Structure 1
Amino acid sequence: MELLFCGMRSHTSCIDGEQSLQFFRLATCGQDCQIKIWVVPLSHILGFELKYKSTLSGHCAPILACAFSHNGQLLVSGSVDKSVIVYDINTENILHTLTQHTRYVTTCAFAPNILLLATGSMDKTVNIWQFDLEMLCQARSTEDQLKPFTEDWSEDDVSTWLCTQELKDLVGVFKMNNIDGKELLNLTKESLADDLKIESLGLRSKVLRKIEELRTQVKTLSSEIPDEFICPITRELMQDPVIASDGYSYEKEAMENWISKKKRTSPMTNLVLPSVVLIPNRTLKMAIDRWLETHKK
Structure 2
Amino acid sequence: MASAIHTFRDHRDDVNCCALSPTLLATCSGDKTVRVYSLSDFSELPFSPLSGHGYGVHWCCFSTCESYLASCSTDAAVIIWSMGTGEIMFKCEHPGRSPVRVSAIASDSSVVLSGASDGTVAIWNFQSRTLRRTGTVTEASVVACSFTPCGQMFVTGCTLGDLKVWDLDLVQLHAEKDAHDLGVTCCQCDSISQADGEAVKFRLVSCGQDSQLKIWIISQHAALGCRMQLLHTLKAQSGPVLSCAFSNDGQLVASGSVDKTVALYDANHGSLLHTLSQHERHVTTVAFAPALPYLASGSMDKTVIMWRLGGGGSAQCAEATAAVCQGRKRAGHSRLLVSDWAEEHVAAWLADEGLEELVSIFRRHNIDGPELLGLTKDTLAKELHVDSVGLRGKVVRKIEELRAALVGSPAPDEFLCPITQEVMKDPVIAADGFSYEREAMESWIGAKNRTSPMTNLPLQTTLLTPNRMLKMAIARWRATQ
TM-score range, shorter chain: 0.3 to 0.5
TM-score if structure 1 supplies the norm length?
Answer: 0.42
Higher share in strand:
2
Higher helix share: 1
User: What TM-score results when the alignment is normalised by the length of structure 2?
Assistant: 0.27
Instruction: Give the number of the structure whose alpha-carbon radius of gyration is greater.
Output: 1
